[in-house]
């Protein structure tokens, strides 16, 4: 377990009280397509205890079925209903605000499928009620220009998540927050964020697990999204230093988790 001069973290023995985990994926379970050491042992812990969980990611690029397939390639079996993405929560929000709305999308399969499954119409750019932006690895100037024009024309600006970087095998790459910053600079309009650290995704996970917030914890690698969001939802929090946050950033941050571990391998070994 990682020590800090600033904060006294909880003892691993107190992990006994945790009945449910809301688990981030990028930077926690893997980097890019490389599984983190201890991945199998960590899921054995979850299944054998047992500990209820939801894999809740801010990354809206994949569908739940695609995440299931990715984990299967790493030797881990999960069900689609055990996965919750910011794309699903965003689609649920927009459909609740305006059923059948026209949506101009910057994003990939996970976001497009979620919006269609919630009865929303995909706009070709001529007109839209909403501009919804998720991570898009095929992002172009033309997409940014169309989104800018629509937002300036009055479309509501929605961001699936605010993560400015994305952990990969090569290091931290640009995330969706970087795209949102571009569009905000071009339009003067700040996006409404749906994913972490906002409560919607945490509340959905707690409801699905049927675990009260006081007996649940969030497990993530980002202080400003995973840890802050879990704390806002009344949950305890576990930070791993395998992704977007390093020990120096942790020491200098006003956001402090309940537990800190180097990785899920270290966490699984310490769980009582």
Query: Per residue in 6-47, pLDDT tens?
Result: 457 999 999 999 999 999 999 999 998 999 999 999 999 999
Tokens representing 155 are 């479309």
- Say what percent of the chain tops pLDDT 70: 97
Catalytic annotation on 24?
yes
Rounded to the nearest integer, the mean pLDDT of the chain is 94
The yes-or-no verdict on residue 4 having pLDDT over 60 is no
Which among 3, 5, 24, 136 is annotated as catalytic? 24
The yes-or-no verdict on residue 161 having pLDDT over 60 is yes
| CA distances from residue 250 to 3, 33, 119, 155, 232 in whole angstroms, order as listed | 11, 26, 42, 38, 18
Which among 5, 26, 203, 258 is annotated as catalytic? 26
Contact 40, 267 (CB under 8 A): no
pLDDT at 7: 53
Domains of the chain: 12-58+197-270 (3.40.50.1000), 87-193 (3.40.50.1000)
The yes-or-no verdict on residue 156 having pLDDT over 50 is yes
Catalytic annotation on 136?
no
């Amino acid at each position: 377990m990682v020590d800090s001069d600033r904060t006294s973290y909880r003892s691993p023995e107190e992990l006994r009280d945790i009945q449910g985990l809301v688990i981030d994926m990028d930077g926690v379970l893997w980097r890019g397509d490389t599984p983190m050491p201890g991945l199998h042992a960590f899921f054995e812990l979850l299944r054998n205890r047992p500990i209820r969980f939801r894999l809740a990611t801010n990354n809206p690029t994949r569908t739940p079925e695609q995440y299931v397939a990715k984990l299967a390639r790493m030797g881990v079996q999960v069900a689609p209903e055990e996965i919750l993405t910011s794309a699903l929560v965003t689609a649920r929000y927009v459909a609740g605000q305006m059923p059948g709305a026209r949506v101009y999308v910057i994003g990939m399969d996970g976001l497009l499928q979620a919006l269609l499954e919630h009865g929303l119409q995909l706009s070709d750019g001529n007109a839209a009620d909403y501009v919804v932006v998720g991570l898009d690895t095929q992002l172009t100037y033309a997409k940014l220009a169309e989104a800018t024009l629509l937002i300036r024309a009055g479309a509501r600006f929605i961001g699936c998540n605010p993560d400015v970087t994305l952990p990969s095998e090569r290091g931290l790459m640009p995330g969706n927050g970087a795209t949102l910053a571009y569009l905000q600079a071009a339009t003067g309009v700040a996006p409404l964020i749906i994913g972490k650290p906002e409560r919607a995704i945490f509340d959905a996970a707690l409801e699905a697990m049927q675990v009260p917030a006081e007996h649940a914890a969030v497990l993530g690698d980002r202080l400003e999204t995973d840890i802050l969001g879990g704390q806002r939802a009344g949950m305890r929090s576990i930070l791993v230093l395998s992704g977007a946050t390093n020990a120096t950033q942790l020491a200098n941050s006003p956001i402090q988790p309940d537990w800190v571990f180097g990785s899920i391998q270290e966490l699984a070994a310490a769980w009582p």
